Structure 1
Amino acid sequence: MTAEALTILQAAGAERIEHPGGTLLAHLQRVSALLASWGARPALVSAGLCHAFYGTDGFPVALLDLGRRAELVEAIGVEAEALVYFYASCDRKASYQGLTDDRGTFVDRFTGARMHPSLETRRDFAELTAANELDIAAVSPEVRTRYGADLRDLLTRWRPLLSEPAWAHCRSVLGQADRTKPHLAVERDRS
């Protein structure tokens, strides 16, 4: 976590935005810490801290306009900011299903561009998504009850992209999801 990123987050009011488990700032810090505990490289840990800067398909609150990407690059570096943009740009409905497939299409919700991201990019995206979603599920029994089965299904499909620590954390937080509950659109409702 860089001091510059925290400064931008505070200036954007992240500590005043409600989020499961407290505030958006607290969530972002937990996601970053979770990635670090899984052994993620520094750029991915920084991306975890900043993953909601441009809003997401499931959390439309943007802390920084896309026209100001250079400010985030200054704070966390080119690689980490590119991960933040990639995460924020995901059209979840169009992209989640094919993420494990080398030829799966990823759709940028900002530009409409369709691409086939590299294996490393897909792994980073899956790891960041897992940290984000599992943090929310861990702090919110309501979210875990409502979306736990869908989240476990999603992360099970993405298992080939996840690190061993991420997969272990998934099993720890979600256990055996209740398969009798109807599946809901987990891809749409959270950052």
Structure 2
Amino acid sequence: MSVQTEVLAWLRHKGTEEIAHPGGTLYAHLGRVRDRLAGLGHSQDVQLAGLTHAAYGTDGFALALLDWQDRAPLRALIGAAAEELVYRYGSCDRDRSWPGLVATGEVTDRFTGEVRTLSGDRLAEFVDLSIVNELDVIEQDPTLLAKHGDYFRELFTAWSPVAAEALRTDLQRLLER
């Protein structure tokens, strides 16, 4: 059985097919995020992180599938590199991290208050996961763009220098609305 098949079974076991999310269910959203990351050419680790990015909840989606203090089960399922990205994404204090992210690389942990600095591929993967997640939510619920469009346009413009080239095209399409 492939890792992705095991992760999909784990997500179903965690009830993600029953959790409402823009565009249907959390399960569907997680799959779309993974698919888009795959389309961008990201590694299996990044794709698995995309598939499980809400495991510890996020600053924008409070429901958690696992306790953030018990990271071992997810690490055993998807591997250390993928789990690290999931943790970093889920623990990110968006208000404190997102505005200066590309300039500083600093991500503030909303659980512990610790600040970590990302650079190179780690920063690019984090930015791409963050953008892909938000793009999917906005595409599934266009009213969010009407409400928060200026914020996302400013944020994504600041992030575009480290985003995947193909993702910048999607961003440009979004920003032109």
TM-score for both structures, normalised by structure 1? 0.86
Which consecutive residues of structure 1, in runs of 5 or more, have no partner in the other structure? 178-191
Structure 2 counterparts to residues 108-147 of structure 1, below 5 A? 108-147=109-148
Aligned residue for 2:96?
94
> Which residue identity is paired with 1:71?
P
State the structure with bigger RCO (CA 8 A, min sep 6), 1 or 2.
1
SS at structure 2 position matched to 1:66: coil
Aligned residue for 1:13?
15
RMSD: 1.4
Question: What is the CA distance between 1:175 and its match in structure 2?
Answer: 4.1
Aligned residue for 1:41?
43
Q: Is the 8 A contact 2:160 2:168 kept in 1?
A: yes
Question: What is the CA distance between 1:115 and its match in structure 2?
Answer: 2.4
Q: Which moved more, 1:83-92 or 1:114-123?
A: 114-123
Instruction: Output the CA distance in 1 between the equivalents of 2:175 and 2:88.
Output: 29
Q: Is the 8 A contact 1:55 1:61 kept in 2?
A: yes
SS at structure 2 position matched to 1:58: coil
Aligned residue for 2:167?
166
Give the % identical residues: 43
- For each residue in 1:15-48, what CA deviation from the matched residue of structure 2 results, as whole angstroms up to 9, or x when unmatched? 1110000001100000000111111111111111
TM-score for both structures, normalised by structure 2? 0.93
> Which residue identity is paired with 2:25?
T
Q: Is the 8 A contact 1:89 1:108 kept in 2?
A: yes
Question: What is the CA distance between 1:104 and its match in structure 2?
Answer: 4.6
Aligned residue for 2:52?
50
Q: Is the 8 A contact 1:5 1:72 kept in 2?
A: no
> Which residue identity is paired with 1:96?
W
Instruction: Output the CA distance in 1 between the equivalents of 2:55 and 2:13.
Output: 12
Following TM superposition, where does structure 1 have runs of at least 4 consecutive aligned residues deviating by more than 3 angstroms? none
Instruction: Output the CA distance in 2 between the equivalents of 1:97 and 1:59.
Output: 19
Q: Is the 8 A contact 1:50 1:84 kept in 2?
A: yes
Aligned residue for 1:180?
none
Q: How many residues align?
A: 175
